[in-house]
Structure formats: C-alpha cells, structure tokens
Structure 1
Amino acid sequence: MKLNIKESLAELNARERVKALVDKGSFHEFLGPFDGKESPHLAAQGVVPQSDDGVVAGKGTIDGLSCVMIAMEGDFQGGGIGEVAGSKIAAALELALKDNKNGTPTHAVIIFDTGGVRLQEANYGLLTIAEIHAAITALREYSPVIGVIPGKIGAFGGMAISAGLCSTLIMTKEGRLCLNGPEVIEQEAGIAEFDSKDRLLVWRTIGGMQRTTTGFADVLTEDEATIIKEHISDVFSKKQIDVPRSANVEKFLSIVNTIDPSFKYTPEGFQHVAAETKNKCNNHKVGQQGTKKSRGEIWFEAFTGKSAIDMHEVPSVLCGEGTINNEKASFLSVVPDEEGRFPRARNGEVGLEQGWMLAKYVREIMEEDKGSDKRPIVAIVDVPSQAYGYNEELAGIYLSCAAAVDAYAAARRAGHPVIALIVGKAISGAFLSHGLQANRILALDDENVQVQVMSKQSAARITLRTIEQVEEAAKKVPATAYDVRSFAALGGLQELIQDIEPEQPEKEDVASVEKTLRKTVNDIKKSNAGLEHRLNTPEALSGGRKASIEVRKLMEEQWK
C-alpha cells in the first residue's frame, strides 16, 4: 500500500523547495554552492559568508513548461539581499526575459523567504533590488511571474515590493507579506503604533489569510508542495495575462481613500483613537507662508514655478511641468504635509497615498504622450523613508510602493527619459519607489544628501549591533555608509553635481542643474540604456559593482 505523504514547502530549505515544485530531475542550478560565488562584503564585518550567498537560481520545467526558478534561503542572514544574492536573482530574470524576446517561452517562479535588504550590504541591496524590480516588470509583459510565500520568514522590505510586482501571488496562511517588519515599526514609531510581540496583531495585519482575504494576494494555499505546484500550473495554463495589482491604480487608490486613519486595532478590536500629536520635525503646513520648505519642494518650485499649494488631491505629492531643452518635461516630488490624512506620512515619507499618487501621475503622463514624443520625467528625491505605521501595513504600503515602481519602470520602457535628482535624503523603500527606476541618477554633492536603507538605530537593532559598530562597518564597506559620495563609489550615480546651494539656490545654481539635466536627457536619448547603465559607469567598472558584473557574466555562460 502506497502512502500519500504530504510535503510541507515551508519546512524545506531553498534548494529543496525548488526541487519540490519542478518536474522530477529537470532542475539545473546556476552559480550553485560549488561555484563558490559568495559575498565579498561580509567577512570584513565578521560575518561568515555562504558559498551560494543564500539564493538558489536555475532552470527547470513545471508540467513540461520551461521555468526560471528562484528561491531565497531564509536561514542565511534572514534571506537578506546583498550584491551577489540580488544580482543572481536579477540576472536569472533578465536571462529569462532574453529567452522570451528570442522566441523561447520561459516562465518565472520566485519563492520568497527574505527580510529584504541585507543590512551589512545596504546600498548594494537597494541597487540590486531595483534591478530585480526592473526585470520583473519587463518579463511580466511576456510571461507570468509567480511569487510564492510559503512561510518561515515571508517577504519583507524591498522584496515585499518585488512580491507586489508579481503577476500572481500564492501564500500559505503561515506566510507574511509586509514592507516594514513589526520590529522596525516599533523602533521607528513606538510600541503604541505596533507591538511586535503581539503575534495575533502581526498575523491579522500581514499574514497570508489576511492578504488573500483582502485581495492583496491571489491564492491562499495549503502548505503542500504538490498543491502549490498545481496552483502554479493553473496560472501558466491561462491564455491571458491579467493586469497586475501594481498597475491597477484607480482601484487601490479608491480603497486608500476610504480608510479612516483614526481607527486602530487594539486588543479589544478596532477602536477610534484620538488624533495624534503632530510630529515635531521640520515639516510645514503645505502652502503656509513663512515656514521652512523641504528641499524637494524648493527644487520643484525652481523647475516648475508651482508650489505645494497648487496640489489639490494629495498636497504632499507634487507634479508639474517645466522645460528641458526647450521642450516640455514633468517634475515630481514628495514633500511634507503636517495635515496629511496619515500621521506617519507627514514628514515627506512615501506612504499609501504617496505611492499610488506617484503611479497615477506618471501613468497620466504616459497616456498624454501616447503616440507622440515622450517627455522627460524628473523625480526630485528628498524622501526620509517610507511611512512606518499600522494602517500603512494593513492597507498594503508594499503595494503602494510597487505601484510607483511599476509606473516609473513602464515610463522608462515606453521611451520617456526618466531621471532621478537627489537633493536631500533617499532612504529605503521610498527611494526604491521614487528614483531607483530612473535611466540615470543625479545627486547634489552635499553632506545632507544621503542614501541608505534605514536609520542607524533600526539597522543596529536588526543586525544585533551597536550604533558604533554600524558606523565602524561603514568605514570598511562603503555600501553601508550614508553619505552620497560613498553611494557614488558604487557606480549608481551618473553625476555628482558640485558647488550647488541646495536649500537656497540662486538662479546660477538652478541654471547649472538644468544644464546637467539637458545633458543627461540627451545621453539617455542617444544610448537608450536602462538600469544596466549603472553596471557600465567608470565607478562600477573599477570595482564598485565588480561582483554584480561577474555574477551576470557567469550566469550567462552557464545559462547557455
């Protein structure tokens, strides 16, 4: 008598998960453990690397159909994404895209078990996750990209945005999907906002059952490998690819508009709570005279002549027209609004409204230019972080950020020259949403221009280090530093614009930046390069992205 033994996907490691889903004997792994392609950035910080850097990637078949299979190993550094790990994922998706363009249908399955960016590699994580986002959105036009969240860790941070970009999401009830982990929300916003030790609260907010019930994931499945494989086959058998959630702007923006931020979950259930005390930061009431404006608003006004007071739908998201090369260009910026509906997004953070509104504006620009010349789109970046809050996670801030990513990537692929101009802070999921999908990134050379994943306090808590140890690591690994010159050393910047007054720019300052914008638009039109350009800058080629370049070279050789 043959016993039907169920195989839990959640209990398997990454390699076992892939092999449990593909047809028996069909999986061929690329850059596996015996290739020894490990992170070059961990040993210097006292972290033992792993020979496959915690990512399994390769090709197999599911019911005879060719698939690229990707899985993250949650037991290594929490499934964190650094330079090698992220480049393996991006390269596998890019090669699948190339296959499809060459007439070889290749589907994609991504098994998520990750806390997001590996904080010991920080900005490398941001760069490679942006490349993963670009690859998913491009591949999705040819074939479904299926995300599976079986359990253990789940999908957090920038990789939650990746999950939000997938064509279809399959989750077990043990799976979790969240932009900001409960511990990070507690660190940044306080225990009253989110008690990370309240397990019932956690599952009711970000668990698989909640996500599928509310429409933020597609399939709630039993944790059984053969059943999950059947769900994947069902998606592959569809004749038509559905519009992904991240592109369904009007639907989800309307949902956000119905939320009453004054209601919160308490142990007694949902209750109305008193309005929060306004954050005591350098924010300002939008349109108020005589108060300090953010850098994002200052530079938006310099290019468009408009101010935040001209925005009516969501005043913290600015969209206006200016000119580059005497032709129309659109400028977007996210700015503080102390009277914003969501208290956690009043200081210039990218929150629920901000992500969806960025997506709405960019897609409106694309629609206006359909069939005509594609105007440049400039994302003016001064975002201190994504919003940390209970309401944000419950209503899927990861998807709001994914919507902005999706829109910028779509505009870039449609032929709009997309430029990110960093004038202040470019932090974490906010930067992934608003800036990192640009053809080119520019930045002002100023000590208060910063690029990073999260605050030093939260980074120390998550990595079990002191703030002093976090600061010491930045001296050894530039990707963990906060200053823009360290970020430039990684090869992500097209140009570091010097000798500019960032907070009180004179006409000469604005003219100098406009000159750089003109030059950059011309460069984009001439080369038509997307995010791959960042691997070809002098800084990248001289060592800033050495591991990323090598991973792609080896992956392509083994792919053939």
Structure 2
Amino acid sequence: MNNMLLKHSFIELNAREKAAAILDPDTFREILGPFDRIESPHLAPQGIVPQSDDGVVIARGLINGASAVVIAIEGAFQGGGIGEVSGAKIAGALEQALEDNEEGIRTKPVLLLETGGVRLQEGNFGLLATAEMQAAIVALRRYVPVVGVVSGMIGCFGGMSITSALCTALIMTRQGRLQLNGPEVIEQEAGIQEFDSSDRPFIWSTAGGEQRFATGMVDTLVRDDVAEIYQAVRDACQRDVPLEARSSQVERFLSRLAVIDPSAPLDASRLRALWGRDQEQKVSPTDERIRELEEVWRQTESKDRSRGRTWFEALTGVTKPEKAGAPSVLCADASLGEESVRYIAVVPNAKNRFPRARHGEVGLDEGWTIARYVRDAIKADEHGKRRAIVAIVDVPSQAYGYREELLGIHLACAAAADAYASARLAGHPVIAFLVGNAISGAFLAHGLQASRILALDDPGVAVQVMSRTSAARVTRRSIEELEEAAKKLPATAYDIRSFSSLGSLHELLADVSADEPAQSDIENVQSKLKNAISETRDTTRDLSRRLTSDHARKGRAASIEVRVRMAEQWNC
C-alpha cells in the first residue's frame, strides 16, 4: 500500500502529498510542477509573493490500475484561491482528460478541493477559468465519474462550490465546509443578524460535512483518514456512467424546496427533519407537491422594472410569460427569423418568498427554475432542431443569506450552469446577452456557459467576482486601492470594456440605449443575436473559442501557455 497511508490524517497533508496518497502506489507523475516555474504574472505587481506551481498540483497516475488525473488545490497558498494560472491548470487538466475519453482512454478525474473560490486579486481570470472547468466536468460526466473531495478546514467556497456540485460523486469529512458565500461576505452583504461569521459551531452546522451528508448534498461522509478517503475515491471511480448528477435532478430538489416555508423558523436540525436521508420518500418528486409550489409562486409575483425585464419584453414581445417556475425568472419562446429562441431572464421580485432574493439575485428558486426551463427545451427538442437559448443577463449577485446556504444555493446555481452546459453539448446554440450586472456565482449560473457572449457597451454593464465593498473587506484593501489596481489589471475591473479585453466576448454592442431601447435598437440587437446563433451552429460545442480571439491571445496569454505546456507533458 502507498507509504502515504502511514500518515493517518489526510487534512494535514499538503496538496502534493494528498495527490500521491490518492493514486496507486508509485504511479504519481506531476505535470507542470514547481520546476516548470509557471506562476501567476499578476501577483507580484500587487505586492504578493507568487508560488511556482500557483497553488495547484496536477498528478497523472493510476487508480485501481486505470488512467487517472488528480487535481489538488493547496489551501495554504492564497487560501486555495483560483487565479489565471491555477484555474487554467485545473481546466486544462480536465480538458485533457476529456480528450482522452473522447479517444477511448478512460482517464478518471479526481478533484481535491481546498479553496476559498476565485482569487480576488485576479478577478475575472478566475471567474472565466471556473466556468471552463465546469464546462469540462459536465462533458466528462458522459464518459467517466468525476469525483470531488472536500476534506480540510478551508473547505470549498465561491464558484468552486458550484464546481463541486457538478461532480458525479462528492466526498466530505466532518471537518470540511461547503457553501457558496463565505461567512464574512454574507455578514458584509446581509448583516450580522443574518449570518454571524464569528460563530464557528453555527457555521459548521450550516455547511459542514455532516450536515451536507445528512441532507443529501454529498454522497459519502468519511473520517479524516487517508485509508478511508483512499477507498472512498476508489469506490466512487467504480461507478457506472452516465449517472444522473445531483445538479440535474431538478424535480427532486424543487420538491424539497416545496416543503420549505421561508417565513417559518429553520435551522440545521429542522432541515434534517425535513430533508434527512430517512425522509427521502417524503420529499420525493410528486405532481401534487410541485403544483403546490407553483401556486405559491403565482401568489408571490410583482412586476418590478429592470433592464432584464425591459430587454426580455423587447426581444420577445411578451409581457405576461407563462409561469412554470419562480416569477423572478421570465421565460418565453419567440421567433427570430428562421430560428426558434427560448429567452430566459432573472428579474427583481419584491414579493419573492425568499427575502434575500428580491432584487434580481439568483437564489434557490431562481437556479432550479432556470434549470427547469432549459431542460424542458432540451427534452422537447430531443428529436428535432434544437432551438437557441438566450440568457438575458442582469444579475447583481447570487442571494446572500442563511437559508440560502443551509438549503444549498451552490447546488441551485450548479443546476442552472449544468442545464446550460448540457443544452450546449446537445446542440442548442446558447447565447448570453449582458444588459446589466453579471456578478459572481449568478453569472456562473446564468450566462457563463454560453457558446457566445454579447454585451451592451454601456457603463451599467459590469462583470466581476464580488461587489466592491465585499472585495475590499476580504482583501483588506480600500475601494480606492482596488480601483487603482484595476487600472493595471483589467481582470480586476468591473466595466465591460475591461472584460472585453480578456477575449471572451463575441461582440460588444455600441450605440444601443440600454434602459429605453428604441425599435431600431431592438432590431440591431436581434440581428446580432441571429448572427451569433447562426455562427454557433457551425462550430464546436465547447468553450475553446474563448481562447482563440485576438484579445484572448494578449489578455489571457498565461491561460493559453498553461494549456499548451500541459498538452506537451500529458503523455510523457
């Protein structure tokens, strides 16, 4: 047996030791290790000492004698944060594993997740990389199990919690934590009465491994023991595929949300009584329970104005869309030339049953409703021409709240991202049209899995990982210091032109009235959408195009270099 198994605690190992402990004995081979010296070019200019592996270990080897790749994040470096290089290493390794599987080599990926999410000092670099690794996971699941492990005291947060929720199998220890928004960020955004970031027992009861396992959000609960985790990974890798991933079980989780009354007291023990593993039969999907939830949604509708609603109505001509989901998610089908298009927008709803999602945030109901609308289109078009799907993006953030974390907002966001990625892989042209804010996990859920991204060239369109106030608190900088850094590093800026310089935009639309579009503005946008849909039908179904534009060759040079060098070393 592997010598690393002599060390009882898995948590106490560093990332390199963890990767070696997971693989079959004497099969560990590191790719892009520290002696390759591919480090982040963005940290030193900000006064941060970089690390020569950028905090991510990629190890090829065998698991149960079969080809595998272990991706281990080093939580001791920058809190396991995802930047351009570290993100490209993870996404690139998953893409190489996908290529193996497409060629008949069943390389199985394992992710060891000790991460606070996107590295704020690199902003949109990390956001884009996170979307790319999520796209690769959804594609990989068709061939082999994708296994995630959340073991240590840092846990798995931010966009990476969404990534974890896309895995075929998820393993946790009691010490691990899994949630979208960090405690300090929730306290900053919603107040200490909503979430006390100093109350450690409260935090672990909300998002710790024991609670996540008890309420069905992870598959296996293990002790902090190398041998036990070693075996759990092997068992997970033996699963047959394709399996229905947790993030694709829309009706199951809508049924679970149907038994939740947001106005009633709720804590960890009460949720176990409602959603516990011994209660699974009581929250299994039923038409009656879903109808009850739909009736609640019908009674909690308002028509608050927003850019998202304005452009939804302008592009569809529909002011009263059919309601098969949360009223804060608008959905309608409309013709665009010879194309049939499903438009989806998230909008404010002052009567939202979850108070923390009343201003256009992507919350629990919103994530699962988006997934429902997208998957309905996939199913309906299974044997015919795949309609296009346009995500109209105007989302200030994901919802920040205690109930949101307890009930698994990371999984709701993953469900939406999973649905969009699955639609793209099934042949649906998926287009994101940015008309307002596109922030953080909300953008990962609603927009970043698109085949093409179009945006209005307008000061009100912003893309970033976190609000300025929260980013300042987390990085211990002033807002003025953040803005000064953004002048030197476009990935940390909020404006759409800076985001465009990274190469992921298909087109930036100038001279369009964002708030009060005239008929000529609407026709201009429709023409651009039509062209994007047409181009998408004739190209690959992955996100690789984001790294081939002229802007990307300059703006994401490190992302490209990492992938080139990883491909060179993959089979050496």
Structure 2 residues not aligned, in runs of 5+ = 272-299
Q: Map residues 54-453 of structure 1 onto 2, 5 A cutoff.
A: 54-264=55-265, 286-288=301-303, 293-307=305-319, 310-311=322-323, 313-453=325-465
How high is the sequence identity, in percent, across the aligned residues?
56
Q: Matched residues in 1 for 2:101 and 2:322: separation?
A: 45
Do 2:206 and 2:268's aligned partners in 1 also have CA atoms closer than 8 Å?
A: no
2: CA distance between counterparts of 1:320 and 1:161?
Answer: 27
Structure 1 range deviating more: 314-323 or 505-514: 314-323
Q: Secondary structure at the match of 1:527?
A: coil
Secondary structure of 1:423's partner?
Answer: strand
Give the C-alpha shift of residue 264 in structure 1.
4.2
Q: Which amino acid aligns with 2:235?
A: D
SS of structure 2 residue aligned to 1:215: coil
CA distance in 1, matches of 2:108, 2:485: 39
Distance 1:315 1:269, change over 3 A: closer
Deviating more after overlay: 520-529 vs 305-314:
305-314
Aligned to 1:539: 551
SS in 1 for 2:356: helix
State whether residues 177 and 209 of structure 2, in contact with CA within 8 Å, keep that contact through their aligned partners in structure 1.
yes
Using the alignment, how far apart are the partners of 1:556 and 1:268 within structure 2?
48
Which residue pairs with 1:474 in the alignment?
Answer: 486
Cα offset, 1:17, TM superposition: 0.6
Aligned pair count?
A: 540
Work out the CA distance in 2 between the residues paired with 1:167 and 1:312. 28
Unaligned runs of 5+ in 1: 271-284
- Range that drifts further, 547-556 or 6-15: 6-15
- CA apart distance, 1:328: 1.3
CA distance in 2, matches of 1:268, 1:313: 28
Q: What TM-score, normalized to structure 1?
A: 0.94
**CA shift in 2, pair 1:118/1:211, >3 Å:** same
Give the drift of 1:516: 0.4
> What TM-score, normalized by structure 2, do the two folds share?
0.92
Q: CA deviation at 1:262?
A: 2.0
Whether 1:517 and 2:518 are equivalent positions in the alignment is no
Q: Is the 8 A contact 1:286 1:308 kept in 2?
A: no
> How far off its partner does 1:304 sit?
1.2
Q: State the SS of the aligned residue for 2:538.
A: helix
1:251-286 superposed Cα distances (whole Å, 9 cap, x missing partner):
01111122111234589999xxxxxxxxxxxxxx95
Q: Please give the alpha-carbon distance, in whole angstroms, between the structure 1 residues aligned to 2:548 and 2:301.
A: 41
Moved more, 345-354 or 228-237: 228-237
Q: CA separation in 1, counterparts of 2:301 and 2:372?
A: 21
Residue 63 of structure 1 deviates from its aligned partner by 2.4
Give CA-to-partner distance per residue, 1:34-81, whole Å, 9 cap, x none. 000001111111111110000001211122121110010111111000
1:162 counterpart letter in structure 2: T
Distance in 2 (CA, whole Å) between partners of 1:528 and 1:20 is 37
Q: 1:277 is matched with which residue?
A: none
> Cα distance 1:286–1:307, how it changes in 2: closer, same or farther (>3 A)?
farther
In structure 2, distance between residues paired with 1:467 and 1:140: 41
Q: Contact 1:99–1:105 at 8 Å: present in 2 too? A: yes
2:562 matched to 1:551? yes
Closer, same or farther: CA 221–361 of 1 in aligned 2, 3 Å:
same
Please give the alpha-carbon distance, in whole angstroms, between the structure 1 residues aligned to 2:432 and 2:180. Answer: 22
Contact 1:308 1:315 in 2 (8 A): no
Runs of 4+ in 1 over 4 A off after TM superposition: 264-270, 285-288
Q: How many angstroms apart in 2 are the aligned matches of 1:264 and 1:459?
A: 31
SS in 1 for 2:405: helix
Distance in 2, matches of 1:473 and 1:350, equals 28
Residues 161, 179 of structure 2: 8 Å contact kept: yes
Q: Secondary structure at the residue paired with 2:52? A: coil
- Compared with structure 1, are the counterparts of its residues 194 and 504 closer, same or farther at alpha carbon in structure 2 (3 Å cutoff)? same
- How far the C-alpha of 1:311 sits from its partner, in A, is 3.2
Name the CA shift for 1:99/1:312 in 2 (closer, same or farther; >3 Å): closer
Shift of 1:5: 4.7
For residues 353 and 469 of structure 2, what CA distance do their matches in structure 1 show?
27
Residues 325-347 of structure 1: CA deviation (Å, up to 9, x unaligned): 33211100000000000000010
Aligned to 1:278: none
User: 1:529 Cα deviation (Å)?
Assistant: 4.5
Given that 2:79 and 2:154 are in contact with CA atoms closer than 8 Å, whether structure 1 keeps it comes out as yes
Structure 1 residue 320: Cα displacement: 0.2
SS at match of 2:8: coil
Letter in 1 for 2:330: L
Matched AA of 1:57: I
